[in-house]
Amino acid sequence: MFFTEDIILSTLICDEDDHLTIWGLARLFQDAAEDHSKSYGVGYDGLIVQNRAWILTRVYYNILRYPIAGEKLTVRTWPKPDNGLIAPRDSQLIDSNGMVCASCTSNWVILNMESRRVCRLGEIIKPFEKETESATSVVKFDKMLLDDDLSLVKHIDVPYSSIDHTHHVNNAEYMKWICDAIPDICKSHSDEHRREISSFDINYVKETKYNDPEVQLYGKSINDSAFQFRLTNSSGISVQAQVVLK
């Protein structure tokens, strides 16, 4: 079943030029997924009483245009057929002319917050209508394979403001750290940070928590437009990502 929300783009998730940020886009899609789940009784409030929560494991963003603050937009999202453990979901950001500005394909799981084990969806969610429409060219995720020679970009002191109600770093915060690091590994430093991202593929492997002293971000420039990143913490690999600029 499709779910839509109409919004007016806030400056709070825009950059200095009042364009939507990639991590702002991530938050819009996350909020819409939460609101849709809530309508079925399996949003955050409905699951946390069972000591469970939705966890994003993989997402691919494709951006055609970055809207400007004040624009009237529609977020459209829908669940796709699952395999019993992984719940795929696609989303689109649509402008007032009906044009798609950005889209994403994502995989979610429901995690038992105490055992840290993935739950079977059928035990928690009642059957409801799924859609087969794809928002991006990614129908099924392949394993993300990065090069071995990524270089240390920076150590990250995890701020408390990056932690969400699942008590670990919010998905969008990792994207912000990665975007902030792009100028540090560009071959050319001539305003590279102002080039827009056209695609962002990110794989969430292990959670990162507040006060973890061993959070390190590694990266590599593949060419002038493509980058690989890996973030590690005291438990090992936390996040892997591939970013392409326009």
Select the CATH number that applies to the domain covering 3-123 from these four: 3.40.50.720, 3.10.129.10, 3.40.50.300, 3.40.50.1470: 3.10.129.10
Confidence of residue 3 (pLDDT cuts 50, 70, 90): very high
105 vs 103: CA distance, rounded Å: 7
* 192 pLDDT more than 70: no
Q: How would CATH label the architecture of 151-245?
A: Roll (3.10)
The pLDDT value given to residue 1: 87
Q: Locate the domains of the chain by residue range.
A: 3-123, 151-245
183 vs 160: CA distance, rounded Å: 25
Instruction: Please state the rounded mean pLDDT for residues 63-76.
Output: 98
The pLDDT value given to residue 94: 98
SS3 51: coil
Query: Using one digit for the tens of pLDDT, what is the confidence trace for 224-242?
Result: 899 999 999 999 999 999 9
Whole-number Cα distances in Å, 9 to 88, 94, 239:
26, 12, 28
Query: Using one digit for the tens of pLDDT, what is the confidence trace for 152-166?
Result: 999 999 999 999 988
Whole-number Cα distances in Å, 145 to 61, 242, 243:
18, 10, 13
Whether 179 and 61 have beta carbons less than 8 Å apart is answered as no
Instruction: Please state the rounded mean pLDDT for residues 66-95.
Output: 96
Degrees (nearest 5) of the Cα angle 131, 136, 140?
A: 70
* Percentage of the chain modeled with pLDDT above 70: 96
64 vs 197: CA distance, rounded Å: 9
Instruction: Show the tokens assigned to 200.
Output: 């962002």
Element (H, E) at 181: helix 171-185
* Percentage of the chain modeled with pLDDT above 90: 85
Write down the mean pLDDT value for the chain: 93
Instruction: Show the tokens assigned to 184.
Output: 């540090």
The pLDDT value given to residue 183: 81
Instruction: Please state the rounded mean pLDDT for residues 76-92.
Output: 95
Amino acid at site 56 = L
Confidence of residue 191 (pLDDT cuts 50, 70, 90): low
User: Burial of 227 by CB count in 10 Å (0-12 exposed, 13-18 middle, 19+ buried)?
Assistant: buried
Kindly state the DSSP code that residue 19 receives in the 8-state scheme: B
215 vs 3: CA distance, rounded Å: 37
The pLDDT value given to residue 127: 74
Whole-number Cα distances in Å, 154 to 145, 215, 219:
21, 9, 9
Sequence-separated (6 or more) residues with CB below 8 Å from residue 64 = 100, 101, 102
Instruction: Please state the rounded mean pLDDT for residues 75-96.
Output: 96
Whole-number Cα distances in Å, 29 to 83, 127, 130, 197:
22, 22, 18, 17
Confidence of residue 120 (pLDDT cuts 50, 70, 90): very high
